[in-house]
Amino acid sequence: MVYQTPKDKPVYNLDNALGIAREKMRHADIQKQCANSGAQLQPDGTVRIKYLNRDYRLDPKSGEVNLLLDQSPVGMRDKILILHYFIRASGAPLTGKQITFRDLPGGLVYYPTFLKRTIQPLLDKFGKDAPSLHKAGQALGARQGEIGDASLIIDAFPRVPINFILWQGDEELTPDLNLLLDANILEYLESEDVTIVCETIAWQLVNAIKKA
């Protein structure tokens, strides 16, 4: 199964959310937000920004988001996430302190759903095959961490590293997986956006192996 938005997932009005994000983009200090977000202001006034190891082009005037070197269409959720990141970015440095999804506002309440839609697909695919998780991470430009049987550090955005840590299961032990975020994550994304980013990465990792 290739990643698709779960049919039972309650999503906010995407058209409305995109419209609001585009309006905020038009009123943003573009040069400041490029510095805050790690994006690059181009000579033609557009913005180049990296999201999940791919380069995107933002047009501050229209709020449009396109892949820079690819004609493939950009999904609406991805457009909203990229705009939200660019607009919200405060430029705050990494704290070095890591937190879990449950530490986010609303994280404890939403965690059972997060477990089902993000953690469990990864455990089902990689729980007994840690090397394959590293292989899948290559497509997302993952760096290797130092904890667990497999650890991937994936830069969702230039200032948003996410650490996926897997403890491989065997005949006696159940596999376990955790996601760690820098404590400054809310300086760049709202909790709902973190949820969507993590779910998107999880299914990209699963699909990367399916295509291999």
> Do 175 and 110 form a contact (C-beta atoms < 8 A)?
no
What pLDDT sits at residue 146?
A: 86
pLDDT at 4 > cutoff 80: no
Tell me what the pLDDT averaged over the chain comes to: 91
What pLDDT sits at residue 30?
A: 98
The whole-model pTM stands at 0.90
C-alpha to C-alpha distance for 76 and 206, rounded to whole angstroms? 21
C-alpha to C-alpha distance for 136 and 201, rounded to whole angstroms? 11
> Do 171 and 162 form a contact (C-beta atoms < 8 A)?
no
**Tokens representing residue 145 in the block:** 């961490």
CA separation, residue 177 to residues 60, 88, 102, 114 (Å):
38, 29, 14, 12
Helix (H) or strand (E) holding 177: strand 176-182
What is the domain partition of the chain in residue ranges?
14-88, 98-211
For the 98-211 domain, the top CATH level (class) is: alpha beta
Q: State mean pLDDT over 14-37.
A: 95
Of 41-45, 139-143, 165-169, 205-209, the range with the highest mean pLDDT is: 41-45
Q: Euclidean distance between the first and final Cα of the chain, in Å?
A: 14
What pLDDT sits at residue 7?
A: 41
